[in-house]
Structure 1
Amino acid sequence: MHPGAPAPLPPTPTTKRIPADLPFVVRPSLRKRALLLGVITLFVGLVMACPLGLALSADGDAAVLLVIPVIMLFFALLMGLQLWLISSGGPVLAVGPDGLWIKTRPTRGQAIWLPWAAIDRIYLRRWALEKMLCVKPRDPRAASGLGAFTALDSGMQQAFFGTGFTATANFADRSEDEIMRAVVGYAAGRCRVG
């Protein structure tokens, strides 16, 4: 090893699914997410119905209106796939006295274990309708070696949230306040929260 080079990072434990045996586990809320995606699908249908309705009144061809349910079905299938990807991956966060597990990708994929001593800061950040709990490790190399797809997802999350480790706070099965109280309680001052 070159003198002055940083010490090699010990391998960070990862798993395909977050263990559900920690004291505080957060899962995605299928109901909240389905409501949001359903509203988006209806909005897209309505936005399309107005111009197509005007086109129908101009030329009188009722077949134009058949495009609306076809496009809505397409959007509903995309939203269904999104719901399945998000909800079938298991918990998004698990917190305990020694540290936390957090997903490394927003949908299915792996999760990483970070002890409290390895975490620099935990904070909330909003992007559009999504409010995310963001976990910033002390060593930025903690995200290295997690795979190509994770690196791509992590890079996008890094740009939006300042870290690649995020978990939903407002589309979860627990309230944002409950999540933050658990994080503050278990962190016990070993990292910055807020």
Structure 2
Amino acid sequence: MQPYPVVPRIPADQPFVVRPSVRKRVFLFGGFTLAVLAVLGCVLGLGAIGSENAVALLAMFGLIALFFVALFGLQIWLLTSGGPVLAVGPAGLWIKTRPTRGQAIWLPWEAIGLISRRRWSLEKMLCVAPRDPRAEQNLGAFTALDAGVMKAFFGTGFTATLNFADKSEQEILQAVAHFAAGRVQLA
């Protein structure tokens, strides 16, 4: 049995709720997608000059561009459609258990051992390490897979984005410190 409540989506009625920012994700992934397509377009464009296969190269570029745009859309949808990523209140916090879906767990402040900030590439994360290792058990097979990857990068499976959120990193950290009220070590 799971010692802490797990729900399909973080309740939005908490005093401080953090949602993913679609705009920030689109800016990052859109820029990456445009850069890849620009390089590919230049390479294929140079290959098409003076070639009788110019139409085939253009069609190939169109298919590749369509693939990248679809991949871009899927990535944005996966990262932003699962509802809030974090909610903080006087009694504890809700945090997503998976980066791409909405499942979340409730952790009272007394059940949290450490809250820290970590960075991996462009992503800054708020990392919540529970005192009780049972908190990370029985969350489902896909969650265990996602949490394993998150643990490898961030040291815990419970993470929330800081720089791709609808609130600033400073606002999030101040709210966590305010509601934790010294009951949790913040690093």
Of 111, 119, 128, the match for 1:126: 119
Q: TM-score, normalised by structure 1?
A: 0.91
5+ residue gaps, structure 2? none
**Structure 2 counterpart of 1:87:** 80
Q: Which residue identity lines up with residue 108 of structure 1 in the other structure?
A: R
Deviations 1:143-180 (A, max 9, x none): 00100000000000000000000011100000000000
Distance across 2 between alignment mates of 1:58 and 1:128 = 41
Aligned ranges 1:1-194 → 2 under 5 Å: 11-57=3-49, 59=51, 61-63=53-55, 64-194=57-187
Q: How many residues get paired?
A: 186
Q: Is the 8 A contact 1:42 1:72 kept in 2?
A: no
Q: Which residue identity lines up with residue 52 of structure 1 in the other structure?
A: L
Deviations 1:74-114 (A, max 9, x none): 11111111222222211000000010000000011310001
Specify the SS of the correspondent of 1:156.
helix
Question: Which stretch has the larger CA shift, 183-192 or 69-78?
Answer: 69-78
| 1:58 CA displacement | 6.3
5+ residue gaps, structure 1? 1-8
Q: Is the 8 A contact 1:44 1:72 kept in 2?
A: no
Q: TM-score, normalised by structure 2?
A: 0.94
The alignment yields a C-alpha RMSD, in angstroms, of: 1.5
